[in-house]
Chains A and B, each alone.
Chain A
Amino acid sequence: MEQRTWPVQRDGAHFSALPLVNISGSKDDDDDDDPNRRQQRRRSRHHHHHQQQQPPPQVLRTRNSHCAKLPTIHSASSHRIRFSSRWFSSFSSTQSMAEGHDFSQLPFDVLTKIAASFTLPNLRSASLVCRSWRDALRPLRESMLFLRWGKRFKHGHAGVRPNLQKALDSFLKGAARGSTLAMVDAGLLYWEMGHKDKGIALYQRAAALGDPAAQCNLGISYLQAEPADPKEAVKWLYEASVAGHIRAQYQLALCLHQGRGVECNLLEAAKWYLRAAEGGYVRAMYNTSLCYSFGEGLARNHRQARKWMKRAADRGHSKAQLEHGLGLFSEGEMLKALVYLELAIRAGETSAEHVKNVVLQQLSASSRDRAMSLADNWRALPSR
């Protein structure tokens, strides 16, 4: 990330002595889940905004007298002299900030909602925008720390012994500070530990904040619940799919394909399989290939079918390896066919044995050795 530490100022108006941004530290308590406290904080914050506006002389339209958020240039210039140690460059006499629309003045809880599903790099950048954002996003940065510890405890990284209870505690602490990433991981752990309703509750919280992974997991939970609620599942899978979540797209396609929770629709299903495949989801690649192959939902296209089957095979899909091997065999590419058939067999597709033997008979000893060596050294391409 290319960053200048000394961004050039467009005007010199904004200095620390001006009481512009300091919203009282309302995030030091952990009672994020207490709605009454939150309401009080919100009210007091709005009140605080009003107080800030009064001191500097206002040269504003009366329409905005209650809603404007910033003092004008006039008050800023009188402070300039104090800041010889501060950095600033020449400034124009016009205000570069729109009146009353200062995004640095957004209330903390609004900023927390905006950044709730941010990954760490985005959270980092947002925290470096201005002081107010830095302060508002502190709880979310703390969430990230708890998230990291949670993952360590869950998987036993970095010399830490796996401990599911501690992992859960960490994830829950992260969730309490507002990060949907922590909520999803906490929900997943609850689900894996058998507390499915607690898992779903967390997914719901995160899904409501717009996190696509949470929406996907929530949808899948509804599909797997007893009794299942496929209509609700499809609703959430659709949300996540529209947001670009490839696993959700695949699951949605399955529902459309099977007519589960939604009217059966092969065209829509194929469309979503293709989207997920293009996004890198291996199972979707395999299904996309089949759609092209059978002309189901997509116009029959042998070339596309082969392309997607190969892609799935190269990423480790065992059935795709079998199919691709058979395809190569039918084209007379014996050596390549043998490699894929061998990979398929090693992955458990025993039905490939018969064809493999046919191929073996058609190859020289050195070719057979070469094929086995290729299979031995094969590594799946990365997938998502």
Chain B
Amino acid sequence: MASPKVIVLRTCDGETFEVDESVVYVSETIKNMIEDGCGDGVIPLPNVSSKIFPKVIEYCKKHVSDFESLKKTSNGDEKEKDKDDDSSKKGKEAVPDVEEDAEEKARVEELKEWETTYMDIDQQVLFDLLQAANYLNIKGLLLMAAEKAASMIRGKTPEQIRETFNIKNDFTPEEYEEVRRENAWAFE
């Protein structure tokens, strides 16, 4: 892999985007399509709008380095493990490199802050993000969005949840009662 390759993608509403290959590789779906040979032409994304795509790419850009650093450290960790196996003392641990740790800690904290800002979105964007992350198979993003949705559901009554997400109650009274009774055992 010599020069960084640029991939062209087209969203469902006809707009095209050019993105570095390493960035779009964060999406398992796109990665598979490229590996199947579609990387030279325009890759269609029928389930992703041009509105949400930039938001997705923002996530991918932030997490490209995750994949790269993972490749780097895995070799180092294996060496450490051998050291532990050789020692006869139970529970001997490799002494952490102090400077590396401080850097790592700062990186983790910075990432947490970035995530908080990134997920400060309204429910419409959240919906698009869930759909896009699911279709594009970006595990970390889907998990983040799912957790945000979960936090908006926990502790609420069904009516409150419907209000939060603008959902219609399509139950018949009988169906509603059936579901309610189904779980009544939990409170006996």
From known contacts A113-B146, A144-B186, infer whether A7 and B13 are also in contact, taking CB-CB under 8 Å.
Answer: no
A11 to chain B, nearest CB (A): 9
Residue of A nearest to B85 (CB): A227
B108 within 8 A of A: yes
B interface: dominant SS: helix
**Which B residues from 77 to 119 make CB contacts under 8 A with A?**
81, 84-85, 90-93, 96, 98, 101-102, 105, 108, 112
In the bound complex, what is the Cα–Cα distance between A14 and B176 (angstroms)? 15
Q: Is the CB of B93 within 8 A of A227?
A: yes
Q: Is the CB of B172 within 8 A of A86?
A: yes
Instruction: List the B side residues contacting A208 at CB < 8 Å.
Output: 139, 143
B43 within 8 A of A: no
In the bound complex, what is the Cα–Cα distance between A120 and B184 (angstroms)? 10
Q: Is the CB of A122 within 8 A of B154?
A: yes
From known contacts A46-B135, A107-B134, infer whether A130 and B171 are also in contact, taking CB-CB under 8 Å.
Answer: yes
A101 within 8 A of B: yes
User: Which of A62, A114, A127, A242 touches B179 (beta carbons < 8 Å)?
Assistant: A127
Q: Is the CB of A7 within 8 A of B159?
A: yes
Per-residue 0/1 for B121-136: is the Cβ within 8 Å of any A Cβ (1 yes, 0 no)?
Answer: 0011001101100110
Q: Is the CB of B186 within 8 A of A113?
A: no
From known contacts A7-B162, A66-B46, A114-B149, infer whether A1 and B157 are also in contact, taking CB-CB under 8 Å.
Answer: yes
B7 to chain A, nearest CB (A): 21
**Which B residues from 146 to 188 make CB contacts under 8 A with A?**
146-147, 149-150, 153-159, 161-162, 165-173, 175-177, 179-180, 182-183, 186
B49 within 8 A of A: yes
A205 within 8 A of B: no
Instruction: List the B side residues contacting A231 at CB < 8 Å.
Output: 96
Query: How many residues of B are in contact with the other chain, CB < 8 A?
Result: 61
B6 within 8 A of A: no
User: Which of A101, A107, A122, A263 touches B105 (beta carbons < 8 Å)?
Assistant: A263
Per-residue 0/1 for A108-140: is the Cβ within 8 Å of any B Cβ (1 yes, 0 no)?
Answer: 011001111110111111111111011000000
In the bound complex, what is the Cα–Cα distance between A230 and B80 (angstroms)? 12
Q: Is the CB of A126 within 8 A of B161?
A: yes
From known contacts A46-B135, A113-B146, A125-B161, infer whether A130 and B13 are also in contact, taking CB-CB under 8 Å.
Answer: no
In the bound complex, what is the Cα–Cα distance between A238 and B172 (angstroms)? 45
A82 within 8 A of B: no
Q: Is the CB of B158 within 8 A of A129?
A: yes
In the bound complex, what is the Cα–Cα distance between A5 and B180 (angstroms)? 10
User: Which of A67, A109, A127, A263 touches B49 (beta carbons < 8 Å)?
Assistant: A67
From known contacts A66-B46, A263-B102, infer whether A101 and B124 are also in contact, taking CB-CB under 8 Å.
Answer: yes
Q: Is the CB of B157 within 8 A of A3?
A: yes
Q: Is the CB of B172 within 8 A of A104?
A: no
Residue of A nearest to B98 (CB): A263
Q: Is the CB of A228 within 8 A of B130?
A: no
Instruction: List the B side residues contacting A5 at CB < 8 Å.
Output: 173, 176-177
Instruction: List the A side residues contacting B165 at CB < 8 Å.
Output: 103-104, 129
Residue of A nearest to B101 (CB): A263
In the bound complex, what is the Cα–Cα distance between A102 and B131 (angstroms)? 11
A97 within 8 A of B: yes
Q: Is the CB of A131 within 8 A of B171?
A: yes
In the bound complex, what is the Cα–Cα distance between A261 and B108 (angstroms)? 15
B57 within 8 A of A: no
In the bound complex, what is the Cα–Cα distance between A2 and B101 (angstroms)? 50
Q: Is the CB of A226 within 8 A of B158?
A: no
Residue of B nearest to A43 (CB): B135
In the bound complex, what is the Cα–Cα distance between A62 and B14 (angstroms)? 10
A243 to chain B, nearest CB (A): 9
Instruction: List the B side residues contacting A125 at CB < 8 Å.
Output: 153, 156-158, 161
Instruction: List the B side residues contacting A226 at CB < 8 Å.
Output: 90-91
> 9 interchain pairs (CB within 8 A)?
A46-B47, A97-B166, A97-B168, A101-B127, A129-B165, A210-B146, A226-B91, A263-B96, A263-B102
Q: A128-B176, A210-B150, A235-B108 are in contact. List 18 more A-B contacts (CB 8 A).
A: A3-B159, A4-B159, A14-B168, A42-B135, A64-B49, A86-B172, A101-B128, A113-B146, A114-B146, A117-B150, A122-B153, A125-B156, A128-B171, A129-B165, A129-B167, A131-B170, A227-B81, A242-B112
